Amino acid sequence: MKPLLLFFLLLPILAVPTVQGANLELSQMMTGLGANTYSLGEALEAGDLSRAQVMAERIVNHPQAGPAVLKVVKATLGKEMGSFKGFDDRTHLAGEALIEAAKKGDLPSAQAAFGNLAAGCAGCHQAFRAKVAAALAEAP
């Protein structure tokens, strides 16, 4: 992630039109997911289910990756695309379960759903993150 970080730091100075690149787009989406997941964990730790619900809703309704990202991901993963999608589905289902548990005031179920959600994030990262990041970094 270091070159990307440098890129972010230089962004205000350079203001180059390539800012719309696929890599930046997915990376930004993930950064948002990371921040919301962190806040979600904090809310659950504090037993604050209404805040947890808001954060889980943000995660479930996160902005979708655009066509440029999808094209690179599909070309890179080929037959593994189903597995990639499976991690995405798992994360979304866990997020939905967490929202339902929060609505019911059921903290233990919300915490269990958080475990599933985090496993979805971590599973995809372990299997695909490096590969996809490398492919996106080379994409125009």
Q: Interface residues with ligand HEC (CB under 6 A)? A: 1, 4, 23, 26-27, 30-31, 33-34, 37, 59, 84, 87-88, 91, 117, 120-121, 124-125, 128-129, 132-133, 136
Rg over CA atoms, the chain? 17
Token pair belonging to 140: 């125009």
d(CA 45, CA 42): 5
62 φψ region: left (φ > 0), alpha (ψ -120 to 50), beta (else): beta
Q: Could you tell me the smallest distance in angstroms from the CB atom of residue 64 to ligand HEC?
A: 12
Report yes or no: 105 and 61 within 8 Å, Cβ to Cβ: no
Q: CA 47, 48, 50, 56: dihedral to nearest 10 degrees?
A: -80
Per the document, the length of the chain is: 140
Q: Could you tell me the smallest distance in angstroms from the CB atom of residue 22 to ligand HEC?
A: 8
